[in-house]
Homo-oligomer: A and B are copies of this chain.
Amino acid sequence: MTAQSLGVCYYPEHWPEERWETDADLMREAGIAYVRIGEFAWSRLEPNPGEYDFGWLTRAIDTLHEKGLKIVLGTPTATPPKWLVDRMPDMVALDADGRPRGFGSRRHYCFSHEPYARECERIVTALAKAFGEHPGVAAWQTDNEYGCHDTVVSYSRAARDAFREWLEAKYGEISRLNEAWGNVFWSMEYRGFSEIDLPNLTVTEANPAHRLDFRRFSSDQVLRFNRRQVEIIREFSPGRDILHNFMGSVTDFDHYKLSEDLDAASWDSYPLGFLERDTDDEAHKLKYMRVGDPDLQAFHHDLYRACGRGRWWVMEQQPGPVNWAPWNPAPLAGAQRLWAYEAFAAGAEVVSWFRWRQAPFAQEQHHEALLLPDGSRNEAYETCRAVSKELAALDCKVVNMRADVTLVFDYESDWAWRIQPQGADFSYLKLVLAFYRGLRKAGLTVDIVPPSAEAVKERKLIVLPGLMCPNGELINELATSPAMILAGPRTGAKTDDFQIPSGLPPGDFRKVIDFDVWRVETLRPGAQVRLKNRDAGLCLERWREFARPGEGAMPIIESEDGHPALLANGKRAYLAGWPTEDLLDEVIAYCLEQAGLPRLTLPDGIRIRDHGPHRFVFNYLEDEQDISAFSGGGEIAVGGKRLAGAGVAIVAKRGDKVDR
Given the interface pairs A99-B97, A546-B330, the reply to whether A188 lies near B500 with Cβ below 8 Å is no
- Give Cα distance in the complex from A502 to B365, angstroms: 12
- Give Cα distance in the complex from A283 to B8, angstroms: 48
Any B CB within 8 A of the CB of A42: yes
Residue of B whose beta carbon sits closest to that of A379:
B519
- Give Cα distance in the complex from A40 to B330, angstroms: 52
Q: A209 and B104: CB pair below 8 A?
A: no
Any B CB within 8 A of the CB of A172: no
- Give Cα distance in the complex from A527 to B328, angstroms: 11
Q: A104 and B188: CB pair below 8 A?
A: yes
Q: B522 and A188: CB pair below 8 A?
A: no
Q: A366 and B202: CB pair below 8 A?
A: no
- Give Cα distance in the complex from A427 to B536, angstroms: 37
Residues of B within 8 A of A201 (CB): 99-102
Q: A323 and B422: CB pair below 8 A?
A: yes
Q: B40 and A362: CB pair below 8 A?
A: no
Q: How many residues of A contact B (CB 8 A)?
A: 108
Residues of B within 8 A of A148 (CB): 204
**Secondary structure at chain A's binding surface: helix, strand, loop or mixed?**
loop
User: Interface 1/0s, chain A 493-526, versus B by CB < 8 A?
Assistant: 0000111111110000000000000111111101
Residues of B within 8 A of A115 (CB): none
Q: B182 and A81: CB pair below 8 A?
A: no
Any B CB within 8 A of the CB of A280: no
Q: A420 and B79: CB pair below 8 A?
A: no
Q: B13 and A108: CB pair below 8 A?
A: no
In the complex, how many angstroms separate the beta carbon of A553 from the nearest chain B beta carbon? 18
Residues of B within 8 A of A360 (CB): 182, 499-502
Interface residues of A in 94-109 (CB under 8 A from B): 97-108
Any B CB within 8 A of the CB of A401: no
In the complex, how many angstroms separate the beta carbon of A294 from the nearest chain B beta carbon? 18
Interface residues of A in 134-174 (CB under 8 A from B): 148-149, 151
Q: A321 and B519: CB pair below 8 A?
A: yes
Given the interface pairs A101-B201, A202-B103, A526-B282, the reply to whether A185 lies near B276 with Cβ below 8 Å is no
The interface centre, meaning the residue of A188, A372, A378, A497 with most chain B CB atoms within 10 A of its CB, is A188
Residues of B within 8 A of A532 (CB): none
Q: B203 and A106: CB pair below 8 A?
A: yes
- Give Cα distance in the complex from A400 to B636, angstroms: 74
- Give Cα distance in the complex from A161 to B247, angstroms: 37
Given the interface pairs A185-B40, A203-B149, A374-B504, the reply to whether A366 lies near B289 with Cβ below 8 Å is no
Return the contact of A76 from the options B40, B187, B379 (Cβ within 8 A). B187
Q: B361 and A185: CB pair below 8 A?
A: yes
Residues of B within 8 A of A102 (CB): 197, 200-203
Any B CB within 8 A of the CB of A311: no
Given the interface pairs A327-B524, A373-B500, the reply to whether A185 lies near B424 with Cβ below 8 Å is no
Interface residues of A in 9-43 (CB under 8 A from B): 11, 13-14, 40-43
Residues of B within 8 A of A278 (CB): none
- Give Cα distance in the complex from A501 to B208, angstroms: 52
Any B CB within 8 A of the CB of A55: no
Interface residues of A in 225-275 (CB under 8 A from B): none
- Give Cα distance in the complex from A372 to B546, angstroms: 13
Any B CB within 8 A of the CB of A210: yes
Return the contact of A151 from the options B42, B203, B424 (Cβ within 8 A). B203
Q: B320 and A519: CB pair below 8 A?
A: yes
Q: B523 and A202: CB pair below 8 A?
A: no
User: Interface 1/0s, chain A 47-72, versus B by CB < 8 A?
Assistant: 11000000000000000000000000
Interface residues of A in 520-558 (CB under 8 A from B): 520-524, 526-527, 546
Q: A199 and B499: CB pair below 8 A?
A: no
Q: A190 and B82: CB pair below 8 A?
A: yes
Residues of B within 8 A of A97 (CB): 97, 99
Any B CB within 8 A of the CB of A452: no
Return the contact of A195 from the options B82, B202, B323, B326 (Cβ within 8 A). B82
In the complex, how many angstroms separate the beta carbon of A514 from the nearest chain B beta carbon? 15
Any B CB within 8 A of the CB of A181: yes
Given the interface pairs A195-B83, A422-B328, the reply to whether A500 lies near B365 with Cβ below 8 Å is yes
Q: A378 and B518: CB pair below 8 A?
A: yes
Q: B187 and A43: CB pair below 8 A?
A: yes
- Give Cα distance in the complex from A100 to B502, angstroms: 37
Q: A524 and B289: CB pair below 8 A?
A: yes
Residues of B within 8 A of A186 (CB): 40, 79, 105-106, 362-363
Any B CB within 8 A of the CB of A335: no
Any B CB within 8 A of the CB of A594: no
Any B CB within 8 A of the CB of A183: yes
User: Interface 1/0s, chain A 72-95, versus B by CB < 8 A?
Assistant: 000010011111001000000100
Q: B203 and A107: CB pair below 8 A?
A: yes
Any B CB within 8 A of the CB of A191: yes
Return the contact of A104 from the options B42, B210, B500 (Cβ within 8 A). B210
Any B CB within 8 A of the CB of A286: yes
- Give Cα distance in the complex from A151 to B203, angstroms: 8
Given the interface pairs A107-B203, A187-B41, the reply to whether A365 lies near B326 with Cβ below 8 Å is no
Q: A209 and B43: CB pair below 8 A?
A: no
Q: B321 and A363: CB pair below 8 A?
A: no
Given the interface pairs A83-B195, A363-B185, A366-B420, the reply to whether A327 lies near B499 with Cβ below 8 Å is no
Residue of B whose beta carbon sits closest to that of A95:
B201
Given the interface pairs A500-B365, A521-B330, A526-B286, the reply to whether A48 lies near B108 with Cβ below 8 Å is no
The 21 sampled A-B contact pairs (Cβ below 8 Å) are A14-B184, A43-B184, A47-B191, A82-B190, A93-B203, A101-B201, A103-B202, A104-B199, A105-B186, A108-B202, A181-B361, A182-B360, A207-B362, A289-B527, A321-B522, A329-B527, A330-B521, A360-B501, A366-B420, A366-B520, A373-B500
7 pairs of A and B residues whose beta carbons are closest in the complex: A182-B361, A185-B362, A43-B187, A360-B500, A79-B187, A104-B202, A182-B362
